[in-house]
Chain A
Amino acid sequence: DIQMTQSPSSVSASVGDRVTITCRASQGISSWLAWYQQKPGKAPKLLIYAASSLQSGVPSRFSGSGSGTDFTLTISSLQPEDFATYYCQQANSFLLGFGPGTKVDIK
């Protein structure tokens, strides 16, 4: 199985800050990596697919990069609505997996 890790597990930030979240796969997954945002009581929302492609309707302040085993999600200027938990997900094989999540909260 491919294991996913994320760091940090939580981050406190202010509106306007640049926030970077890292996701690492236990083996190479090419660009088969997605990022999701989840707010309390809501279903996850797809932000990024194929490591760096922005899902339709997602603000351009979100960006993704990486390939192989190391990936990053960057929020260029944090907005009030961005306080949430972020998950990465690998799709390199038919057996999928999510990272443990990174909570972004208000500093």
Chain B
Amino acid sequence: QLQLQESGPGLVKPSETLSLTCTVSGGSISSSSYYWGWIRQPPGKGLEWIGSIYYSGSTYYNPSLKSRVTISVDTSKNQFSLKLSSVTAADTAVYYCARRVVIVGAFDIWGQGTMVTVSS
């Protein structure tokens, strides 16, 4: 069945750019039925939607993060990626990638999550 796996550095320095990749296996990222998204969760806190991308490259970002976020898709590699610039300690969180079903709007499949710490 379809699986998602996040990858990237677990430690990022303040003011630098956080970069994560989500690899989709067991299915195609190019399906018209799904969006692909990033969600994060600071330690002990709730879920925050970061943004979503369609296989065509259309993107939608959380307004509170929009100035610092870029999400891209590589259909040839069945991957999508997150870049978050100018990070601070407030960006320390578990970052999840997930599949969102177009017709119902819900995230039905999630990656296991990856912890990213922002620290010098």
Which residues of A line the B interface, CB within 8 A? 1, 32, 34, 36, 38, 43-46, 49-50, 53, 55, 87, 89, 91-92, 94-101
- The answer to whether A44 touches B47, judged by C-beta atoms less than 8 angstroms apart, is yes
Tell whether A46 pairs with B107 under 8 Å between CB atoms, given A94-B52, A95-B60, A95-B63: yes
Q: Which of B15-23, B68-76, B79-87, B110-118 contacts A (4 or more CB under 8 A)?
A: B110-118
Answer yes or no: B55 CB below 8 A from chain A CBs: no
By DSSP majority rule, is chain B's interface helix, strand, loop, or mixed?
strand
Nearest chain-B residue to A92 (Cβ)? B105
B101 and chain A: residue at smallest CB distance: A49
B46 touches A91 (CB 8 A): no
Contact A49:B104 (CB < 8 A) given known A44-B47, A100-B46, A101-B46: yes
Contact call A34/B110, Cβ cutoff below 8 A: no
> Given the known A-B contacts A43-B111, A91-B105, are A96 and B47 also in contact in the complex, defined by CB atoms under 8 Å?
no
Distance A92 CA – B106 CA, assembled complex (angstroms): 10
List the count of A-B residue pairs having beta carbons below 8 Å apart: 66
Q: Give bound CA distance, A38 to B111, whole Å.
A: 13
A31 smallest CB distance to B (angstroms): 9
Beyond the given pairs A50-B106, A87-B46, A89-B49, 17 more chain A to chain B contacts, judged by CB atoms under 8 angstroms and listed by A's residue number, are A1-B63, A32-B105, A38-B47, A44-B47, A46-B108, A49-B106, A55-B106, A87-B47, A89-B47, A91-B106, A94-B52, A94-B60, A95-B60, A96-B62, A97-B49, A99-B46, A100-B46
Q: Is B34 an interface residue (CB 8 A)?
A: no
Quick one: CB contact mask for B41-61 with A, threshold 8 Å, 1 for yes? 000001111001000000010
Closest to B61 in A: A95
- In the complex, the chain B residue whose C-beta lies closest to that of A98 is B47
Task: Tell me the bound Cα distance from A92 to B105 in angstroms.
Answer: 8
Q: A91-B104, A91-B106 are in contact. Are A96 and B111 (CB under 8 A)?
A: no
